[in-house]
Amino acid sequence: MPRTPALFVSHGSPMIAIEDDPWGHALRDFGSRLPRPRAAVVVSGHFEAPGPVRVTAAARPGTIHDFGGFPEELYRLRYPAPGDPELARRAVELLETAGIPAVPDSDRGFDHGAWVPLRFLFPDADVPVIEVSQPSDRSPRRMMEIGAALSSLRDEAVMVVGTGGVVHNLRRFDPGAGPDVSVAEWAKEFESWFVEKLDAMDVEALADYRRRAPHAALAVPTPEHFDPVFAVLGSAGPGERATTVYEGFRYGTISMRSFAVG
């Protein structure tokens, strides 16, 4: 059986959950063409924790609306996918075996970094989901170690999913900019560099993006949305390549680039 691909999704604004956007169509199409995975393990830009890595272990996780100031319609959305306590235990074991302290978390639900893209990927909410937190004191290399520890799950029909953003600067976003309109030059230059290195699977360069990439401080002002990229890349096996699932910008400085590794 072929390995289940890993996936990185730039998730953008929570509003995209209720918008008729080409990004959503692309994710839905990608999900429909996949052999149905047994489960998904998500590393989200909205789940950071100090201390040991936390792995969600509730059988019926709730839907977290971790944002404010949006239309009421958005807060009524629920993503009722089941959790998978047994998979959570296995993920904890894999992380611990790799020397990464980890604990189960039976209380936390799905943050919007997880449920917004998942509702397009798996609209029937019938794929069990667990989330794995990002350590507060992480680095790109640490995130790759987390991805590598979880990599064997891909041989068991489990999809590793990272969500966040390749370019994600909310301080510079233009609410009036339409899709792919008035994209900042620095944002385009950083993403072009990213794509070049990703196509070459030059993980060393990507991990050193702070020094090597143009405009890194503008494109990635804080690392929480970018670092899930490294969990996905860390799960890659020999010879695996990245393929584009969606590309485009919203609000001038928010990349929606999403890619699969397999």
What per-residue string of b and e applies to 92-117 under the rule 16 or more CB within 10 Å gives b? Answer: bebbeeeebebbbbeebbbbbbbbbb
Number of domains in the chain: 1
Amino acid at 254: I
Amino acid type, 58 = A
Judge whether 216 lies within some domain.
yes
With CA atoms as reference, report the closest residue to 88 among 57, 61, 114. 57
Q: Is residue 1 part of a domain?
A: no
Domain span including residue 162? 6-261
Q: Output the domain CATH number for residue 112.
A: 3.40.830.10
Q: CA 100: distance to chain centroid?
A: 20
- 262 residues of the chain, pLDDT tens digit each: 689 999 999 999 999 999 999 999 999 999 999 999 999 999 999 999 999 999 999 999 999 999 999 999 999 999 999 999 999 999 999 999 999 999 999 999 999 999 999 999 999 999 999 999 999 999 999 999 999 999 999 999 999 999 999 999 988 877 777 787 789 999 999 999 999 999 999 999 999 999 999 999 999 999 999 999 999 999 999 999 999 999 999 999 999 999 999 9
